A and B are shown apart, each in its own frame.
Chain A
Amino acid sequence: GENVEQHPSTLSVQEGDSAVIKCTYSDSASNYFPWYKQELGKRPQLIIDIRSNVGEKKDQRIAVTLNKTAKHFSLHITETQPEDSAVYFCAASTTGTASKLTFGTGTRLQVTL
């Protein structure tokens, strides 16, 4: 089955700096790669996603890049703010009528003032 690795496990940045989280996946059939943000005690929230026919996608301060050949994708957050502090999960999905998500192990991002 699919295996998703995520690094780093913790990341501390100063407000205004950029943060980068990287994931690799194993199943070349995966074609959908979402990123979720989970604040303490809250539900995972979809923040951005990318499909295998696209190399990069941007939404305001967040962007995701995908390298299908190398089987890795990354989340970039620019101009970080304290409210960006949370656990971020990457995931990969195989095709099918419904999507089957395999999550990475998570990155705890701390944005300090």
Chain B
Amino acid sequence: DTEVTQTPKHLVMGMTNKKSLKCEQHMGHRAMYWYKQKAKKPPELMFVYSYEKLSINESVPSRFSPECPNSSLLNLHLHALQPEDSALYLCASSRTRPTGSWAEQYFGPGTRLTVT
């Protein structure tokens, strides 16, 4: 399996809802990432997990809460979001150093989130 999968593909939620995004990979990668991408903009890094531990948090608001329950799964819990949080949320994974090709990140198809 050489793919990163994400569910759901689309999500519409109100500002008072709680929802979760899910990401899964079975490539044995031990680093996983969440990115946010607005229309016509590059992906922006949100969180990095390395060996199931949060290693980077790019000052993301607490209404976004990541979780890495095991080496294959990455979740992003959403609560009390704002309309400006509407975006494509991308998950990625990579090997970790010192494994060869450690830096190559492979992206999932993303979840298109709309906050109403």
Bound CA span A49–B106, Å: 13
Number of interface residues of B (CB under 8 A): 27
Given contacts A34-B104, A44-B107, contact A96 B94 (CB under 8 A): no
Q: Among A60-68, A73-81, A97-105, which stretch is in contact with chain B? A: A97-105
Mark B48-92 against chain A: 1 for CB-CB distance below 8 A, else 0. 111100011000000000000000000000000000000000100
Q: How far is the CB of A5 from chain B (nearest CB, A)?
A: 12
Q: A49–B104 contact, CB under 8 A? A: yes
Chain A interface, >50% SS class? strand
Task: List 17 A–B pairs whose Cβ atoms lie within 8 Å, in order of A's numbering.
Answer: A34-B103, A34-B105, A44-B107, A49-B103, A89-B43, A96-B50, A96-B55, A97-B50, A97-B51, A97-B96, A98-B55, A99-B102, A99-B105, A101-B43, A102-B45, A103-B43, A105-B42
Using a CB–CB cutoff of 8 Å, the interface residues on chain A facing chain B are 32, 34, 36, 42-46, 49, 51, 89, 93, 95-106
